Structure 1
Amino acid sequence: MKGLHNLMQNPIKAIVKPEWCFLVLMLIIGSCFAVLVPAGGGADEPNHIARAVSIAHGDMRADKIPDRVGYTSPQDVNGVDSALYGGVVDSALTDVAWHNMVDFHTPKSKGGKIYSFPTWTTQGMMSHRNVGEKEHVEAFSNSAVNSPFVYAPFAFGYWFSRIFTSNAYAIIVIMRMFGLLTAAGILFFCIRYIPIGKWVLASVSLMPTMVIFDATVTADTVTYAMCMSFITVVFKCMCENRALRRSQWILLLLVSISLALIKLSYVPLIILLVLIPIANQYVRSKKALFSLLGIMLCTGILFIGWYLVVSSINTGAMFDVGASPILQKQYVFSHLITYLGLLIKQFIGQNFFSLGVGGTLDLHGHHTFTGWITVCILICAVLVIDSREKCLAIFRKNAVWCCLCFLFVSACVFGLVETALYLQFSPVGADNIFGVQSRYFLPILPLLIFAVVITARQADESTVQSDLKGVRDTQVLHGMDNRLGIGMMLGLQFISAIFTLYLLLTTLYTA
């Protein structure tokens, strides 16, 4: 409330803080995307909408659809279970989503539509269907294995919207807004309370591809937000110069458990818990160490439990690419060296920073030069220190452990993401991994930049000692230099936001 009061009293002074800069730009630009992009036009959005609505009606797990099967590899002579999984959903919602997705994803060079403003008034746009008229069984495709947790904001948005309207198009837009507000709220507090790299976290969270995906119905919205929540809480516990309070243990447990309920590939983030006793000497008692071990155990049990629930669902069988997870596993184990070489190849060619990536807008032209704005922003984010970042020396004292842990966790996540896609989406024995998108690596991108922050910023010995004693830190960048850096950061963020909005408007409304 104090921060909101300060924003109302002095908006210019408040906006220079990274959390307020993030919140204002995310809500303005994100809302434009949520409202104007055709309902269903997000990445795989019809599948996510169907899954979210099914969860809203109490169906926590996708069910096998009788007499409906997908595709598997011709080599799969044993015929693994290729059944499709889904549930009963409202026909109006899925019809609107699929119709508008196909319409939006048709490139303009091939006869794609130039939309009227606002988008839903466009001739031929399916925007007048009402829910409650008819239901049907819908296959959830690649959203079938996601836990209900990642769709909670959209499920709440669905029920909230039903109080006011039965229009399917409007319901989808409201679901988007609930997801956007949830992500923006969680990340706002993450940026405010993370002890280092506030501008780094704000900058990554404002990258064009992040804004675009936060403004649609997708599992990535909650996944990224909870990954950042976990990292923030771990960093806060590392910097406590005393034993952790009960409330902090509870919060640490909750954010740790959330890792088991988001996409399974990000569970390795739990390894970051080992940094707490390394950096905080008051968390080295037997009781504290057993508490950390218990948190990891709870997370692991929940992870294994959900994995067993969804392990039989063959999402790759829903795509005619000759995939077979069972045969692919056999191939990986029998050609381990070859597969490791494939991972190295994928690593070298991966666009980890999502440079020039505009999400679904890329279907209408890839604007690679926009990546330079992101490069400038991230460089500036590494150099600019918020006045509240008083714990840098703690991280620098443990720089080796922090960097090794960050890199190891990032490597684990990278390997799991690539392997999951290789098993589910790539033909057996393929020499390439299909279905990889740079947005899958955004949850580990801040960790990689934090490693640079810790090693690049220099702190003198007096700063280190004052930090360790809990005395107020001396800013590395201060006075006119720091104000100049913040001014550059705000200018770059504004330019990036305006250009992202420009891409949206030109993609939708001009030839």
Structure 2
Amino acid sequence: MGARTTNHGHRFAPTVWPRAARWAFVLAAGALLGVVFSYYWRVFYGLDARGIPPLWPTVFCVVLGAGAAAAALALRHIKDFAVRGTVCILLCGILFAFANPPLQTPDETEHYLRTYAISMGRLDFDADRGYPEDVSRLMAAFPGAWVNAHTSAGIGVDPDTQEEQPYNTAGYALKQYGKDGTVQSIADSFAQYLDGEGKANPVTEPISFLILPFLPGALGMAVARLLGFGALGCLYAGRLGNLLAYTLLCGLGLRCARKARPAFLCVMLLPMSLYMGASLSYDATLLACYYLMLALLTRPRWTTRTAALYAAACIFANGTKPYLNLLWVVLPLLLTQKEWKARGKRLVWVALCAAGSLALTLLVENYGVLMRHNYGTIARQGGEAVNGGAQLAFVLSNPLRYLAVLLGTLYENDGFLGQLGLFGWKDMPVAFLSLTGPLVLLAAALLCTPRTETLGRRRLAGLGLFAALYGIGAMTAMYITYTPVGMVRIVGLQTRYFLPLWLLLVLAVAALARQALTPRLTAEKAQRLALPLCGGYAFLGAVLLFQHYFVGPVYTVYLK
């Protein structure tokens, strides 16, 4: 297109300039916000007082702000909702992979060691087999449950008044060895590993006998090892491998979903989901399989391809976390005969899912037994006070007491819906995310209120019943397998176990809102609004997680 002219003969700039100006403005705005945020960090968290040059945090925040602005602007040009959401999941997940320090995701030490062993070609399990020396140094530098295990309280000095005042490091990644010891940060752990201080105790293979769910991370580690990276580089490469698998499965879920796509994008981009998806945990692929199966249940018709994809995800989920996930095999029965267009009857496919799930479960269990060496007797997790048979008998003989245990556990844990900002081993609370997480889910529910987004009463009722059974089943499983007999609360429950239930909750709230309101929102506009809402929240979650681990707080800097 040529340049346009006015009546006076003056020529306008070519039409490409408004786009360039828009990019320049957005990038400048992102960079400016980065400068403001870096100044906030420097003042409130005392970075200058710690001897950190102002240029470092400023450049970091400017690059992060400009990068986020550029990504947001670029995503606007992707028309396909599934592709746009997939790219957003990948970009935000990369931030979480690096905002989370090494080995801080639940059980990540064990998962790291098993993934590293698989990346070396070890497909059996040997308790006497060790790792390279830098792996042992990484284990020593980053102990698990880094926050709560070292939370300190004592007397410090106020930087303004120089008077003594109490301090507490809870909720921030700081530790103190001994009453009068020096307060250390995550940076000290990085320095300890990179400097190679001292000789770490050798580590051997963990009590973990899974192969399949760790393959994506192992592939990432194998590539890193070929490129010459050490233990730390392999950790981040493994996380990125897992994130890629999580992203692809979530992208497939967004592609397959025919209803309530903003709800799926929201839950996939929740900070808790990305925290697990960008870790070495097998929950990365497990959660993505949950989201994919629920996305398939929004389709108005099921073909043979749909049924096969659901069966594959269901069988994989059962092979990763057995028995409880058997509940997923019955969900195809929610479809009516008119909606079922796959070859074979629904009951045949349900039987296929059940048989495949049980077969993979038994294969994994027997493989773990036959291929393990030098482990001896493996102690029961939780000690001798845990006894599954005795606990089950206790539940069956005291149903009302167990009901009180269920309700009390939900109450003490804010129904787990109020812990969407609780990371690590439940020891890194980001209060802002816990407060706003339910609000973001509510906003996603409102974006699913157009009349075209309804799933129908049959499916909603069936999914509601499934959610209740699955939630009670998850809690009961932890009570039987990890909790001392007769204890009045359930041990080991984490918010991530309930993420698929929150997705179903969003669908239920959307159905109620659709009846109570008269929405004028269209599905197309809802999808356009979903990305900035959910993507922006995920980006903020990564920044706040980084802030809690690497930046604050200020008052512990001035300890005696």
**TM-score (structure 2 length as normaliser):** 0.68
Which residue of 2 is the match for residue 138 of structure 1? 205
> CA offset at residue 441 of structure 1?
0.9
Among 341, 348, 369, the residue aligned to 1:290: 348
Secondary structure, in 3 states, of the residue corresponding to 2:205? strand
- AA aligned to 1:271 is V
Among 434, 437, 440, the residue aligned to 2:494: 437
Among 314, 323, 329, the residue aligned to 1:256: 314
Change (3 A) 1:267 1:57: farther
- AA aligned to 1:139 is P
Change (3 A) 1:376 1:289: same
Q: Do the aligned residues in 2 keep the contact of 1:212 with 1:358 (CA within 8 Å)?
A: no
Which residue of 2 is the match for residue 113 of structure 1? 184
CA offsets 1:260-299 (integer angstroms, 9 cap, x no match): 212123331222111123561546x964543443333333
- AA aligned to 1:280 is E
- 196-205 or 337-346: which moved more? 337-346
Which residue of 2 is the match for residue 244 of structure 1? 303
- AA aligned to 2:290 is C
**TM-score (structure 1 length as normaliser):** 0.74
Which residue of 2 is the match for residue 83 of structure 1? none
Which residue of 1 is the match for residue 479 of structure 2? 422
Structure 2 residue 469 is the aligned partner of structure 1 residue 405 = no
Which residue of 2 is the match for residue 453 of structure 1? 510
* Runs of at least 5 residues in structure 1 that lack an aligned partner in the other structure: 1-6, 66-85, 461-474
Secondary structure, in 3 states, of the residue corresponding to 1:138? coil
Tell me, in whole angstroms, the C-alpha distance in 2 between the residues paired with 1:294 and 1:485. 35
Tell me, in whole angstroms, the C-alpha distance in 1 between the residues paired with 2:352 and 2:383. 43
Which residue of 2 is the match for residue 93 of structure 1? 135
1:284-363 counterparts in 2 under 5 A? 287=345, 289-303=347-361, 306=364, 317-320=380-383, 322-350=385-413, 351-360=415-424, 363=427
Which residue of 1 is the match for residue 331 of structure 2? 272
Which residue of 2 is the match for residue 148 of structure 1? 211
- AA aligned to 2:502 is L
Q: Do the aligned residues in 1 keep the contact of 2:216 with 2:241 (CA within 8 Å)?
A: yes
Change (3 A) 1:260 1:125: same
> CA offset at residue 250 of structure 1?
2.9
CA offsets 1:429-482 (integer angstroms, 9 cap, x no match): 21111111111111232122223333432599xxxxxxxxxxxxxx95239xx7
Q: Do the aligned residues in 2 keep the contact of 1:96 with 1:168 (CA within 8 Å)?
A: yes
Number of matched pairs:
445
Tell me, in whole angstroms, the C-alpha distance in 2 between the residues paired with 1:320 and 1:126. 36
> CA offset at residue 355 of structure 1?
4.0
Which residue of 2 is the match for residue 477 of structure 1? 521
Which residue of 2 is the match for residue 29 of structure 1? 92
Tell me, in whole angstroms, the C-alpha distance in 1 between the residues paired with 2:504 and 2:135. 38
Which residue of 2 is the match for residue 502 of structure 1? 544
CA offsets 1:226-254 (integer angstroms, 9 cap, x no match): 11122223333xx12xx724x33432331
Tell me, in whole angstroms, the C-alpha distance in 1 between the residues paired with 2:358 and 2:243. 29
Structure 2 residue 257 is the aligned partner of structure 1 residue 186 = no
- AA aligned to 1:295 is C
Tell me, in whole angstroms, the C-alpha distance in 1 between the residues paired with 2:124 and 2:476. 24
Which residue of 2 is the match for residue 197 of structure 1? 260
Which residue of 2 is the match for residue 54 of structure 1? 117
Which residue of 1 is the match for residue 30 of structure 2? none
The structure with the greater share of residues assigned to helix is 1
Q: Do the aligned residues in 2 keep the contact of 1:352 with 1:438 (CA within 8 Å)?
A: yes
> CA offset at residue 51 of structure 1?
2.2
Change (3 A) 1:279 1:175: farther
Change (3 A) 1:293 1:454: farther
Q: Do the aligned residues in 2 keep the contact of 1:199 with 1:381 (CA within 8 Å)?
A: yes
> CA offset at residue 206 of structure 1?
1.5
Structure 2 residue 86 is the aligned partner of structure 1 residue 42 = no
Tell me, in whole angstroms, the C-alpha distance in 1 between the residues paired with 2:71 and 2:540. 23
Which residue of 2 is the match for residue 164 of structure 1? 227
Q: Do the aligned residues in 1 keep the contact of 2:289 with 2:313 (CA within 8 Å)?
A: yes
CA offsets 1:347-406 (integer angstroms, 9 cap, x no match): 454433354524129635x3334334323321221122499x95x35x22xx1x223321
CA offsets 1:179-209 (integer angstroms, 9 cap, x no match): 1121122112212321111111111122122
Which residue of 1 is the match for residue 7 of structure 2? none
Q: Do the aligned residues in 2 keep the contact of 1:331 with 1:429 (CA within 8 Å)?
A: yes
> CA offset at residue 61 of structure 1?
6.4
Larger Rg: 2
> CA offset at residue 114 of structure 1?
3.1
Superposed CA RMSD in Å reads 4.0
Tell me, in whole angstroms, the C-alpha distance in 2 between the residues paired with 1:279 and 1:135. 61
Tell me, in whole angstroms, the C-alpha distance in 2 between the residues paired with 1:484 and 1:336. 44
* Runs of at least 5 residues in structure 2 that lack an aligned partner in the other structure: 1-69, 153-168, 170-174, 177-182, 554-560
Q: Do the aligned residues in 1 keep the contact of 2:109 with 2:144 (CA within 8 Å)?
A: no
Which residue of 2 is the match for residue 469 of structure 1? none
Which residue of 2 is the match for residue 123 of structure 1? 191
Q: Do the aligned residues in 1 keep the contact of 2:388 with 2:481 (CA within 8 Å)?
A: yes
Which residue of 2 is the match for residue 207 of structure 1? 270
> CA offset at residue 334 of structure 1?
3.5
Tell me, in whole angstroms, the C-alpha distance in 2 between the residues paired with 1:346 and 1:134. 38
Which residue of 2 is the match for residue 11 of structure 1? 74
